[in-house]
């Protein structure tokens, strides 16, 4: 793993985190407990802060960044950020699933129990209400999250990644 201090800020992470060998954490980054940052993921807090809650998985190739002097990135608890997703200068609240290859732009707010579908592009300043599924380019609300999606996808994926991370901590 590459952990790099920038502008006097060194990334910090809580107990029981898994950081893959080639994951990168830079600058003003704080990860809560039980997080996982997977292979080739980049959490780049060089131009603004990135604050991540507990039990968040940042999957392979994902990029978290912000905008200088404008937009920090804040991630809640039990969030899954899919492979190759980009989360940039926005607020992702608890229990959110960001699909593979999705892009969430500056100053967006994604409320709890929402899903951003794979490949979706959420434009700047979009406010996604609790329990919404957004898809497309540009992303639009296509439906509400059902109890089956809530439990079968959002919660299941977050729990699964905690289990996967434990495999890499074994000796």
> If pLDDT is split at 50, 70 and 90, which confidence band does 22 have?
very high
Q: Where are the beta strands (DSSP E) in the chain?
A: 2-4, 12-13, 18-19, 24-31, 36-37, 42-52, 57-58, 63-65, 73-75, 80-81, 86-88, 91-92, 97-98, 103-104, 109-110, 115-116, 121-122, 127-128, 132-135, 140-144
**Domain 2-169 classification at class level:** mainly beta
What pLDDT is recorded for position 160?
96
Q: Note the pLDDT of residue 101.
A: 98
- pLDDT tens digits along 77-115: 999 999 999 999 999 999 999 999 999 999 999 999 999
What is the rounded average pLDDT for all residues in the chain? 96
* Domain residue spans of the chain: 2-169
> Residue 171 above 70 pLDDT?
no
- Specify the pLDDT at position 169: 80
Q: Is residue 165 scored above 90 in pLDDT?
A: yes
The DSSP annotation for 78-117 comes to S-EE-TT-EEES-EE-SS-EE-TT-EE-TT-EE-SS-EE-
pTM exceeding the 0.85 threshold for the entire prediction: yes
Question: Tens digits of per-residue pLDDT, 29-63?
Answer: 999 999 999 999 999 999 999 999 999 999 999 99
At residue 170 the predicted structure's pLDDT band, cuts being 50, 70 and 90, is low
């Amino acid at each position: 793993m590459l952990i790099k201090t920038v502008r006097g800020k060194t990334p910090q992470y809580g107990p029981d985190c898994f950081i893959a060998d080639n994951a990168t954490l830079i600058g003003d980054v704080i990860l809560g407990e039980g997080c996982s940052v997977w292979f080739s993921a980049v959490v780049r807090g060089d131009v603004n802060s990135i604050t991540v809650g507990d039990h968040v998985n940042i999957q392979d190739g994902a990029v978290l960044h912000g905008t200088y002097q404008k937009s920090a990135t804040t991630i809640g608890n039990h969030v899954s950020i899919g492979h190759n997703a980009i989360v940039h200068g926005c607020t992702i609240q608890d229990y959110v699933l960001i699909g593979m290859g999705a892009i969430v732009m500056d100053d967006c707010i994604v409320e709890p129990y929402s899903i951003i579908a794979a490949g979706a592009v959420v434009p700047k300043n979009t406010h996604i209400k609790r329990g919404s599924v957004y898809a497309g380019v540009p992303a639009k609300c296509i439906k509400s999250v059902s109890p089956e999606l809530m439990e079968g996808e959002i919660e299941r994926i977050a729990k699964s990644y905690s289990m996967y991370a434990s495999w890499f901590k074994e000796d």
